[in-house]
Amino acid sequence: MLYQRVLITGANGLLGQELVRQMSSRPDYDVLATAREDEPKFSGGSCGYVRLDITDERAVSGVFQDFSPDVVVNCAAFTQVDRCESERKTCWQVNADAVNTLAKQCLTFGSRIVQVSTDFIFDGLEGPYKEGDRPNPLSYYGRSKLAGENAARRAGMEHWVIARTVLVFGAGENLSRSNFVLWVIEQLGRGESVRVVTDQFRTPTYAPDLAQGIERIVRFKKQGVYHISGRELFSIYELAIAVAEAFDLDTQLIIPTDGSEFTQPAFRPPRTGFLVLKAETELGYKPHSLKDALHDLSRRLIALEEAK
Ligand SMILES: NC(=O)c1ccc[n+]([C@@H]2O[C@H](COP(=O)([O-])OP(=O)(O)OC[C@H]3O[C@@H](n4cnc5c(N)ncnc54)[C@H](OP(=O)(O)O)[C@@H]3O)[C@@H](O)[C@H]2O)c1
């Protein structure tokens, strides 16, 4: 067979939309996009679309029977970190139990699984992290995502990949939630100030770069753990300043604060970020610099606005 059959879950989310866009434009893949909604939220993308809630075991089994994927890329997740603290049952069902369901189906059908995971499985005391570093999640979201990683391994020997990423930003169509970079652009664009922390550090990831890394994992039929993020480590404050500068917005509206003043329901790891050498050497992964990514994002936002 010349192409791989790829099942993408959570296809209406930020990463899901980008992955559908990139993979369905290549002749190497037959893509089936799935999400909870009756219709796709994205336009274009030469792929099939089916409604799928990954917590519905019977529906998951039906999609496997109908499509028999070579590989599943699980982009579906309960990603609202603070809500995960109060909505623990739903968080666990989506981020852990549903991955177990997907992995079991993969074992039955001989499919591979790419489970997308997070820097929040680490405690943030010794970032930036490499793939073999020891997880120690601080939040319920982090615990549920770590359980999801372990569930994915049940797909069987050499049939699982864990692709971890960090603070993802980008543009999409009708996204159900914003991301940090878009939020800063929107707030400052309205002349409103933002308070951002100076004592949390990340390697921000441009969604098209993450999709590029995952596409290569699929194309090269890789196995194991990969860290896929930007290369540069910034404080959240530095990131907000870079966004304001790139979009010609007022940096004076960005008010520095720190974790002790800025409390949120879920505990955030102070210093994460990833070392991406393995992805660079094994996959030829080449992320944009933050400056170039923001420049590209501004072009994408204009194109999306014009297409409305
Ligand atoms: N965004 C980040 O900063 C970040 C950082 C590290 C890791 N990650 C990981 O990256 C992956 C992709 O996240 P993202 O940034 O694309 O987030 P996102 O935009 O929130 O996408 C997640 C998608 O999953 C969907 N979903 C939730 N429950 C579902 C269910 N039961 N069945 C099917 N779909 C369901 C959501 O739909 P609704 O909108 O309807 O809920 C949403 O469209 C996730 O695994 C996340 O943990 C993200």
Domain ranges of the chain: 4-172+205-231+272-287
Q: Give the list of residues 6+ apart from residue 256 with CB closer than 8 angstroms, or none.
A: 195, 196, 197, 198, 237
**pTM for this model (two decimals):** 0.97
What residue spans of the chain are helical by DSSP H?
14-24, 57-67, 81-86, 88-92, 98-109, 140-152, 180-189, 207-219, 236-246, 277-283, 290-307
Q: Give dist(CA 234, CA 148) in Å, integer.
A: 27
Q: Is residue 150 very low, low, confident or very high in pLDDT (cuts 50, 70, 90)?
A: very high
Q: Is 144:95 a contact under the CB 8 Å cutoff?
A: yes
For residue 112, pLDDT beyond 80 = yes
- The answer, yes or no, to whether the previous bond of 269 is cis (omega within 30 of 0) is no
The tokens describing 54, both together, are: 């990954």
Q: Provide the total of helices (H) and of strands (E) in the chain, helices listed first.
A: 11, 13
Atom of ligand 1 nearest to the CA of 11: 43
Q: Give dist(CA 33, CA 83) in Å, integer.
A: 26
CA-based end-to-end distance of the chain = 38
* d(CA 2, ligand 1 centre) in Å: 30
> Percent of the chain at pLDDT above 90?
92
For residue 45, pLDDT beyond 80 = no
- Catalytic residues, by residue number, are 141
CATH among 3.40.50.300, 3.10.310.50, 3.40.50.720, 3.30.479.30 for 4-172+205-231+272-287: 3.40.50.720
Pocket of ligand 1 contains residue 12 by CB under 6 Å: yes
Q: Give the list of residues 6+ apart from residue 47 with CB closer than 8 angstroms, or none.
A: 20, 23, 24, 30, 31, 32, 33
* d(CA 7, ligand 1 centre) in Å: 15
User: Best mutation site among 21, 52, 75 for ligand 1, i.e. most ligand atoms within 8 A of its Cβ?
Assistant: 75
For residue 104, pLDDT beyond 90 = yes
pLDDT, tens digit, 9 for 90 and up, residues 255-272: 999 988 877 899 899 999
Question: How do strand 29-35 and strand 168-169 relate by DSSP bridges?
Answer: unpaired
* d(CA 9, ligand 1 centre) in Å: 9
* d(CA 107, ligand 1 centre) in Å: 24
Mean pLDDT of 46-70: 96
Q: Is residue 1 very low, low, confident or very high in pLDDT (cuts 50, 70, 90)?
A: low
**Residue 57: how many CB atoms within 10 A of its CB?**
15
Atom of ligand 1 nearest to the CA of 116: 45
Question: How do strand 201-202 and strand 234-235 relate by DSSP bridges?
Answer: antiparallel
Pocket of ligand 1 contains residue 79 by CB under 6 Å: yes
- Which residue lies with its CA nearest to atom 18 of ligand 1? 13
- Which residue lies with its CA nearest to atom 33 of ligand 1? 53
Q: Give dist(CA 117, CA 78) in Å, integer.
A: 11
The tokens describing 306, both together, are: 């014009």
Q: Is residue 160 very low, low, confident or very high in pLDDT (cuts 50, 70, 90)?
A: very high
Pocket of ligand 1 contains residue 75 by CB under 6 Å: yes
Q: Is 193:184 a contact under the CB 8 Å cutoff?
A: no
Pocket of ligand 1 contains residue 94 by CB under 6 Å: yes
Atom of ligand 1 nearest to the CA of 37: 40
* d(CA 102, ligand 1 centre) in Å: 16
